[in-house]
Chains A and B, each alone.
Chain A
Amino acid sequence: GDQVEQSPSALSLHEGTGSALRCNFTTTMRAVQWFRKNSRGSLINLFYLASGTKENGRLKSAFDSKERYSTLHIRDAQLEDSGTYFCAAEAFSGSWQLIFGSGTQLTVMP
């Protein structure tokens, strides 16, 4: 089965509001990365976490390997935050690999 379950698959927010994306893991992961797909289709690094929390501007991420989840919080959403967000966790499957979630399509509305 899927090792990384990302939710929600789609999310709509009004400008200025906030919400959270979540990834649950079926096994212990070494670290997690969060990405956003930009308008050109490139995956842009948002965070790398081996534990704890990190914050960057209006984004904050947390990773709890013991409880097997990671979250990405967006506050004061802006129109330019729209896009697809992916979490990816480091799992051992013969070698250490990034296992991606299926993505969250975020739409920020005026």
Chain B
Amino acid sequence: EAGVTQSPRYAVLQEGQAVSFWCDPISGHDTLYWYQQPRDQGPQLLVYFRDEAVIDNSQLPSDRFSAVRPKGTNSTLKIQSAKQGDTATYLCASSFSNNQDTQYFGPGTRLLVL
């Protein structure tokens, strides 16, 4: 069974540039999560979907960040105008919404904003 895949693996930007991250969850998983992990910290939830619906985006900086999952499968996270403070690893995870919502993580995208 293929795991969660993400691309690109690395991105380097100047401040003000835009970037998109792509995630392909485990087949059959209805729930998809995006996390931000600053260096030397634990991941912090940004947004999550069940199928194509946003369940919680309260921690997503809505002025510059957006996330979509139009068909309830793959998802894209976009940063419109990157800032140095966005430097972090962006992790995607997926799970199946039964009683045990074990989350499986992708390898992440390491973003450096100069």
The interface of chain A, by Cβ under 8 A from chain B, is: 4, 6, 31, 33, 35, 40-43, 45, 48, 50, 86, 88, 90, 94-98, 100-103
Tally of chain B residues near chain A (CB < 8 A): 24
- Which one of A31, A90, A95, A100 contacts B43 once the chains associate, using CB atoms below 8 Å? A100
B108 within 8 A of A: yes
- Which one of A4, A43, A95 contacts B55 once the chains associate, using CB atoms below 8 Å? A95
Chain A-chain B contacts (Cβ-Cβ < 8 Å), number:
56
Interface centre among A41, A50, A98 (most CB of B within 10 A): A98
Which of B11-19, B60-68, B97-105 interfaces with chain A?
B97-105
* Cβ A42 vs Cβ B107 within 8 A: yes
* Cβ A95 vs Cβ B91 within 8 A: no
